[in-house]
Amino acid sequence: MRFDPQAPATGPMPTYEDRGDAGYHRSLGSLQIQMIAIGGAIGVGLFLGVGARLAAAGPALILAYLVVGVVVYLMMRALGEMVVYRPTTGAWVSYAREFVSDRLAFMTGWIHVTLAAVAGVAEIAALAVYVQFWWPELPGWIPSLVAALAIVGCNLLSVRWFGAIETTASSVKVIAILLFLAAGIVLVVAGDVFHAPTTASVSHLWANGGFAPNGLLPLLVVLGGVVFSFSAIETVGVSAGEAADPERSMPRAINSVVLRIGLFYIGSLIALSVLLPTDQYSGDESPFVTALASLHIPGIAGIMNFVVLTAAISGVNATLYSSVRVLRNLAAHGQAPRVTVRVSSRGVPAGALLSVLGVYLLGIVLIYALGASAAFEVILSACAVFILFGWISILVSHLGYRRAVAAGRAHAVHFRLPGAPVTTWVALAFLVGVALYVMFDQANPHWYYSLIAGVVILVATNVGYELSRRHVQRHGLPELTGHRR
């Protein structure tokens, strides 16, 4: 059904209220929400992680991004349908609680908090790699520590200031990608049409061993990295609880974000593939820096490195935003330490924010021990399965929501996932298959990180749920601070 921003949702407003929404201020505009989602999803996965995967899979990597992009679109439309039904800062955690079970909500929430915290460390590690482009002798933990403290400081401001900062930072990388795409087109036309002395050529897509120089198997091997590239796109669902007009802004944000991210990723992959043979890229530096450095234009590689540095800051900023709000939602239901339930007078979950900072500091110790590049690859290997579990829970909750609508326990909305529930099941089956492959892919030298992470998730979240349930039975739910505005 085509989205009509003037059409109200059908049926009465939902009666379910999430106590985790107390204390927040509705002050995010539509543009800010879109840029928060873009800021979270276009970051280290594109600007750093793509390099090693291009070298492994060749131009055929484009196919992997297309397939995962379609599944991500279905997942986001499923999330968007529930967001329009009931906007909340708890997002998919709150929907799991309402439509499936309290246990799934606990598991989903802690999976996301862990994922966001660990992914934030990966972004910080990548940030250190970018800084070492200028100062290669500088220990990676130093820029990582400075960035972590600065980003947490930004998040301690009001959500309005956070939205403004994220919009600015995200705009920098969006403009840079558009300019990069334009430069790629100009160079290809100059070389292939006017025979100018440039290495750029469309023939790179099929030359140097062909479109898939190492066969199709590497496409399966790099699926974990492809999934990681789209991580945090679901952050837009969390921002609905602080949106000024969520019923109008959220559908627009979800549709536009998915389309723009698809354009940026696929467009960037094509541009990188035609500017240089893909075997010249690596995971040691941003592929954008590698491509631009080949042009031998003084200073251009440094400028691009600054852009990707800004992208990493934006990415970890958006990821931190979602993780602290999900953590606070868990705390409001007695499923996280009580210190994380506190919301400041500015509508910021300060207790949860400082708790996640503690995880970042532990990550910086890892960067100090392993080095920035090695720490990034280790963290990425463990992250993919966390991302998949979170997306799977969104689709499971969507199936529960559709059952509730059919039973008359929830109302339908005008913004729906096309083809559901069939498309929901298709996306769910794909994600489950990828999760199993990632956990048992012995071709990946770090495959067991994902398997260990999966086992730890299942055991720890189930044990944690039982402990929290018994604690609530004995001591009741925590007292909430602040009020909804």
> Does residue 14 fall inside a structural domain?
no
- 187-246 residue pLDDT tens: 888 877 777 677 778 888 887 777 888 887 778 777 777 877 787 788 888 888 888 788
User: Looking at the domain assignment, is residue 8 inside a domain?
Assistant: no
**Bigger pLDDT: 243 vs 48:** 243
pLDDT for 422 beyond 80 = yes
Q: Is the pLDDT of residue 308 over 60?
A: yes
Is the pLDDT assigned to residue 446 strictly greater than 80? no
User: For residue 53, what pLDDT band results from cuts at 50, 70 and 90?
Assistant: confident
pLDDT at 384 over 80: no
Query: Per-residue pLDDT tens for 97-148?
Result: 999 999 999 999 998 888 788 777 777 877 887 888 888 888 878 888 888 8
The listed range with the strongest mean pLDDT (84-88, 194-198, 439-443) is 84-88
* Residue range 346-362: mean pLDDT, rounded: 87
User: Considering the chain, what percentage of its residues have pLDDT values greater than 90?
Assistant: 21
Mean pLDDT is highest, among 159-168, 174-183, 215-224, 397-406, for: 397-406
pLDDT given for residue 326 in this prediction = 92
The Cα 88–Cα 20 span in angstroms is: 8
Of 345 and 73, the one with more pLDDT? 73
- Tell me the average pLDDT across 43-59: 78
Residues 44, 252: Cα–Cα separation, whole Å: 25
The dihedral over CA atoms of 401, 406, 408, 409, expressed in degrees to the nearest 10, equals -20
Q: Quote the pLDDT of residue 93.
A: 94
- What CATH number is attached to the domain comprising 359? 1.20.1740.10
**pLDDT in the model for residue 401:** 96
Residue 449 forms part of a structural domain: yes
Residue 251 CA to residue 390 CA, distance in Å, equals: 21
Residues 231, 283: Cα–Cα separation, whole Å? 19
Buried b (16+ CB within 10 A) or exposed e, 146-170: ebbeebbebbbeebbebbbbbbebb
383 vs 288 pLDDT, higher one: 288
The residues, any chain, with a CB within 8 Å of residue 4's CB and separated by 6 or more, are 414
Average pLDDT over residues 170-195: 82
Q: Is 99 in contact with 400 (CB distance < 8 Å)?
A: yes
**Residue 3 pLDDT more than 70?**
no
pLDDT value of position 293: 77
In a domain, 481, yes or no: no
Q: Is residue 17 part of a domain?
A: no
Using a pLDDT cut of 70, give the percent of the chain over it: 88
**Within a domain: 478:** no
Token pair listed for 318: 């958006």
What is the per-residue DSSP string for 243-267?
Answer: BSSHHHHHHHHHHHHHHHHHHHHHH
Residue 265 has pLDDT above 80, yes or no: yes
CB count in 10 Å sphere of residue 57: 27
Residue 21 in domain: no
Phi-psi region of 348 (alpha: psi -120 to 50; beta: other; left: phi over 0): beta
Q: Is the pLDDT of residue 63 over 60?
A: yes
Q: How many domains does the chain have?
A: 1
Mean pLDDT, the chain, whole residue set: 81
Identify whether the C-beta of residue 178 lies closer than 8 Å to the C-beta of residue 268.
no
Question: 455 pLDDT exceeds 50?
Answer: yes
Residue 395 has pLDDT above 50, yes or no: yes
- H/E run at residue 12: none
pLDDT class for 6, splitting at 50, 70, 90? very low
What is the per-residue pLDDT for 329?
A: 92
pLDDT at 77 over 90: yes
71: pLDDT strictly greater than 70: yes
Q: Containing domain of residue 390, as a range?
A: 29-473
Is residue 485 scored above 50 in pLDDT? no
Measured distance CA(414)–CA(417) in Å, rounded: 10
User: How far is residue 63's CA from residue 273's CA, in Å, rounded to a whole number?
Assistant: 13
Residue 90 DSSP symbol: T
Percent helix, strand, coil in the chain, to 5, is: 70, 0, 30
One-letter amino acid at 386 equals F
> What are the pLDDT digits (tens) for 279-300?
888 877 778 878 877 777 777 7
Asked if residue 401 is part of any domain, the answer here is: yes
Flag whether pLDDT at 415 surpasses 50: yes
